[in-house]
Structure 1
Amino acid sequence: MEQKNGSSFTGFILLGFSDRPQLELVLFVVLLVFYLFTLLGNTAIIALSHLDPRLQTPMYFFLSNLSFLDLCYTTSTVPQLLVHLRGADKSISFGGCVAQLFLSLGLGGTECILLGVMALDRYAAICKPLQYTVIMHPRLCALMASASWFIGFANSSLQTVLIFLLPLCGRNKIDHFFCEVPPLIKLACVDTTVNESELFFLGVIILLIPVALITVSYGWIVRTVLRIKSSAGQRKAFGTCGSHITVVSLFYGTAIYAYLQPSNNYSQDQGKFISLFYTIVTPMVNPIIYTLRNKDVTGAMKKVLCGGHGSR
C-alpha cells in the first residue's frame, strides 16, 4: 500500500448508523442483550460438550468448534460497535481495521467450511450408521476441523492483502459499522473490476462449494431417511439434521447476499442490516436452535444444573 494510504491519516471513520441517531440507542440496547446471550449460549454449549460424556462425539466436537467460532466472530465486531453507538468518536486505527477485516473474514470463512464438514458428519451418521465410528474417528475429525480453520484464514489473508493494496487516495470514511470487504472496495480511487472479480471468485469457493456439498449430503440423507419404516426413526433423523439445516440457511443466505452480488447492486443500508444479521443474530440463535431441537443437549443441561443444585 502506498504511503498516502496508510500513513497520511491515523485510521478510518466507521460511519455505522450515525445517519440515524434516533436508532443508535435502541440498537445499543438490543445488540448488548444479543451479545450477552451469544456469550452465555455458546459458552454453555462448549462447557456441556466437555462435561457430559454423552456429548463427546464427532457431532458435538464440531458443534463446540462452531460455538467457539461464533464467540470469536461476534467479539471481533460487536464490542467496538457498542462503543461507537454510545460515543461521538467512531474512529478505528489503520492496523485495527486490517486486523478486524482479517479476523472477521477468517472466522466467517472457517464457519462456512465447518458447516459443510458438519453436513458430512450427519451423512455418515445417518447413511452409514454401522461404519460411523470408523469413518468419523477422532483423528479425522481433528484434521477436518483444522483444515476448516486453515482454509478460512488462508482465504482471509489473501482477501485482506488484495483489499489493502488498493490505493485509497486519502479516503477514510467507511459507510459501515465494521471493516468489511464491500464498503472498503468502495473507498478505492481506481477501477476495481479486477479486484472485484478476484474477490468474487474467492467468495464462490468459500461459500458455494460448501453449499453444494451440504446440498448433496442432505439429498442422500433425505433419501435414506425416507426408507426408514419407523415414523419415530424418521422424526429422530430429521430432528437431528433440522438444527444444522436451520443454521446453514440463516448463515449462508445472508452471507451470500452480502458477498456474491455485483457491487453496482450493493445497497449500503441493506448491507449494514444484513451484516448485523450474520455477525450478531445468527451466532446468538445457534445455541438456541441446537438446544431446543436436541434432547441430548437439553438432557446434559438439566443434569449439570440439577447436579450443581444438589451439591449446594
Structure 2
Amino acid sequence: MKLWVEILLIVPKTPLICRTMSNQTMVTEFILQGFSEYQEYWLLLFGCFLSFYFVALTGNVLIILHPLHYSTMMRKTFCSMLAAGVWGLCAFNTAIQTGLMLHLNFCGPNVITHFFCEIPPLLLLSCSSTYVNSVMIVLADAFCDILNFLMTVVSYGFIISSILKMRTKEGKKKAFSTCSSHLIVVCMYYTAIFYAYISPVSSYSVEKSKFAGVLYTMLSPTLNPLIYTLRNKEVKAALRKLSPFFRH
C-alpha cells in the first residue's frame, strides 16, 4: 500500500490538510483541526508560537557556537555516533508506526483534533481494530521515554554527587540553582510525554493532548537554552562580544 501526504499551508479560516490517497480506504483526506476553534486568538497564538520557535532556534544555535566545553570533553566522533543513534532509533520507530497505520481502515470522520498528525487522535478515527497499534505505541514509547528518563535520573545522580563534594557553599548554591531549573523543565517534558503516549487511547482528551503537545514540542525546547545561556557567565560574555544588543 502506498501513502502520499500533502501538507498545505495554514491560511485564515482554512485548516491544515493532510491528504492520504489509497485505494483501500474510504476516507481520502484528513483535516488537522489545530487551534481553529479559537478563531479570535489566531493572531495571539501565531505570535506566541513564532516567538517560542525563534527563541528555541536562536538559543540552541548559540549553545552550539559558544564557549561550552563540549568540544574538549567529548570527541566529535562519539558525539556524531550519539546523534546518529538517536536519529536511527527515531526513524526505525517511525517506520514501524507508519507501517501499522497503513493497515487501518478509516471510514470517517476525518478531522484530527490536534495541531500535527499525532497518532493517538488518528487512531480514534479508525473504524478497524487499533489494538496492535496501541500496544506498539505503549511499548515503543515506554522503551524510548522510560530509558531516556532513567538515563537522565542517573546523570543527575552523578551531578548531585559531584555538587555535594564541592567545598564552598556559594559553589553548591549556584550549581543547585542551575540544576533545579533544568530539572523542572525535564520533569515538565517527561510528564507531558508520558501523558500523551503512555496513557491509553480510550482516555484520550482533546484539550489535554493539545496542551501536552505544546509543552513538549514548544515550551521545553524554548526554556532549555534559556537556562543554559542566561545563567552562564561565559555565555553572557560571549553574547556581549557577538552583538552590541547584549552589551547592555
TM-score range, shorter-chain basis? 0.7 to 0.9
Query: For 1:85-135, what per-residue CA distance to the aligned partner results, in whole angstroms no more than 9, with x for missing partners?
Result: xxxxxxxxxxxxxxxxxxxxxxxxxxxxxxxxxxxxxxxxxxxxxxx94xx
Pairing partner for 1:245 from 183, 187, 193? 183
Tell whether the 8 Å contact from 1:13 to 1:173 is kept in structure 2 after alignment.
Answer: yes
| Deviation, structure 1 residue 308 | 11
Number of the residue aligned with 1:199: 137
Equivalenced residue count is 227
Distance 1:308 1:213 in 2: 35
1:285 matched to 2:234? The reply is no
Q: Which runs of 5+ in 1 are unaligned?
A: 62-131
Number of the residue aligned with 1:30: 48
Number of the residue aligned with 2:12: none
Query: For 1:2-46, what per-residue CA distance to the aligned partner results, in whole angstroms no more than 9, with x for missing partners?
Result: 62338x62x311122233333334322322333333343333333
For normalisation by structure 1, the TM-score amounts to 0.64
Tell whether the 8 Å contact from 2:113 to 2:121 is kept in structure 1 after alignment.
Answer: yes
| Aligned residue runs from structure 1 range 59-98, under 5 A | none
| Deviation, structure 1 residue 251 | 2.0
SS at 2:142 equivalent = helix
Q: Which runs of 5+ in 2 are unaligned?
A: 2-21
| Aligned residue runs from structure 1 range 1-312, under 5 A | 1=1, 3-5=23-25, 9=28, 11-46=29-64, 48-49=65-66, 54-55=67-68, 57-58=69-70, 133=73, 136-238=74-176, 241-242=179-180, 244-305=182-243
For normalisation by structure 2, the TM-score amounts to 0.78
| Deviation, structure 1 residue 306 | 5.0
Say if 1:218 and 1:41 are closer, same or farther in 2 by CA, change over 3 A. closer
Distance 2:57 2:153 in 1: 30
| Deviation, structure 1 residue 230 | 2.2
Distance 2:205 2:60 in 1: 31
SS at 2:30 equivalent = strand
SS at 2:31 equivalent = strand
Distance 1:232 1:12 in 2: 56
Distance 1:277 1:307 in 2: 29
Query: For 1:159-210, what per-residue CA distance to the aligned partner results, in whole angstroms no more than 9, with x for missing partners?
Result: 2222233221354221112101111111111121221011100010111111
SS at 2:243 equivalent = helix
The structure that is helix-richer by fraction is 1
Counterpart amino acid of 1:18? S
Q: Identify which of structures 1 and 2 has the higher relative contact order when contacts are C-alpha pairs closer than 8 Å and 6+ apart.
A: 1
Counterpart amino acid of 2:154? V
Tell whether the 8 Å contact from 2:34 to 2:114 is kept in structure 1 after alignment.
Answer: yes
Q: Which runs of 4+ in 1 moved over 6 A?
A: none
C-alpha RMSD of the superposition: 2.8
Tell whether the 8 Å contact from 1:14 to 1:174 is kept in structure 2 after alignment.
Answer: yes
Say if 1:217 and 1:34 are closer, same or farther in 2 by CA, change over 3 A. closer
Query: For 1:224-254, what per-residue CA distance to the aligned partner results, in whole angstroms no more than 9, with x for missing partners?
Result: 3213222233245435644543442232221
Counterpart amino acid of 2:143? I
